[in-house]
A and B are shown apart, each in its own frame.
Chain A
């Protein structure tokens, strides 16, 4: 089952002489339950692509379909709500809310949506990510790796259609990176989540089921590996 698909995705900035083609006709399809890595040098367009996939930015041309819904047709307000319900984000800078403790951070997106918290699901996530003892800690009491684990938990809490991770280990040392990535992969499999991750690190990309290479706003070649 294809959960995410783009067709002829383009994003141009500027005009005439200064026209920048950040994305120039990107077609990708992502299978439900897989982990994909988008790899490219800086300036290749990978962040632009992730922003498009997450509905954070609108394309100049082309469509993005998530669970059968073309999100480029949604109005701003609807898009915000769509994002909140369907997409889990993990950022390089963790972006935890400093005045909320670990548990409150994790359930924040659910409460923002006015939903009741599925306690059993949250407990399982907390357990799988090894955060049981940190439940009541504040973000500033946690190490970088722990903070990113909380961010992963938050991204999974709403059972989103896809999880988008933008350089999830960019702020972590290499040992912690490995830890966090393994957890991301394992939790993705456990909760049957589709994960799309951006990285410029080849060895991190090797953890994914599939690597999408992007160069000058175009997909280069597809490398597929067995999971």
Chain B
């Protein structure tokens, strides 16, 4: 008799778990038995956890909204500041004022870049942006990012060599991956000595395609390497250069969001080698 009852109880417990997994759990009865008490308690627990789950989702949604608001509301005034500082630059005659205006202009552009980068990272983190990796050719993307960097490189007499095989393909999101690679290339140009060469090569493995950006810059100390992908991290010797330390962080976010990764090899004084792995 008691064996039967134990079996019944176990069967009901099993049923409770099944129903819970299907999201259809309901209390079957209200009486003074232990089982009924357990059902009530289980129900209370489920409602509470359901509730906190919803709360988390709501909070997440409100953060997304906040980020959208910030990006939206700061855009216009900032564009105006940049525009007016440009106009002022053209009007101002004496040298001292010119210097000041140039600084205002530079700092505003920096601020704009910073806000844009922060918005991007927050959207990547919160999953607002969905990357869509597709089979794409690598070569045209490399041409694009080189074109973007040419002005800066040209000013320092740096040449960028594109040694990527034109037929090579990999699976990636075009726009975002270009941004990730550009940040790396931009760094390479920034930290390379005048007149040197930055080299971009690529290779296909069985699972991954890699794109390698090699510079002959100052290099990164071994103990610094793990930290360069952190948000707002700036190299110890990097303070002379422009920048805010968010580029590499963003790059890693983008690459990791498409199941790839980035490795770094560097020797102080000899140069660095950033290698981006993308799924084929």
Contacts and interface: CB of A to CB of B under 8 A. Distances in A.
Interface of A: 1, 32-33, 67-69, 74, 77-79, 81-82, 85-86, 113-115, 159, 161, 192
B62 interface: no
B30 A67 contact: no
Nearest to A83: B30
A72 to B, nearest CB: 14
The DSSP consensus for interface residues of chain B is helix
Interface string B23-48: 00011011110001100110110011
A85 B40 CA distance: 7
A85 B30 contact: yes
Contacts of A81: 30-32, 36
Among A78, A81, A86, A161, chain B packs the most CB atoms within 10 A around the CB of A81
The 5 A-B residue pairs with the shortest CB-CB distance in the complex, in nearest-first order: A78-B30, A81-B30, A82-B30, A85-B40, A159-B44
A78 B31 contact: yes
Contacts of A113: 37
A79 B54 contact: no
The DSSP consensus for interface residues of chain A is loop
17 contacts: A1-B50, A32-B51, A67-B43, A67-B47, A69-B27, A74-B30, A79-B30, A81-B30, A81-B36, A82-B30, A86-B40, A113-B37, A114-B37, A115-B41, A159-B44, A161-B47, A192-B51
A82 B31 CA distance: 8
Contact residue range for chain B? 10 to 19
Contacts of A68: 26
A55 to B, nearest CB: 10
Contact of B29 (A32, A78, A114): A78
A115 B40 CA distance: 11
Nearest to B40: A85
Contacts of A78: 29-31
Contacts of B47: 67, 161
Nearest to A33: B51
Interface in B28-84: 29-32, 36-37, 40-41, 43-44, 47-48, 50-51, 54
Contacts of A115: 37, 41
Nearest to A159: B44
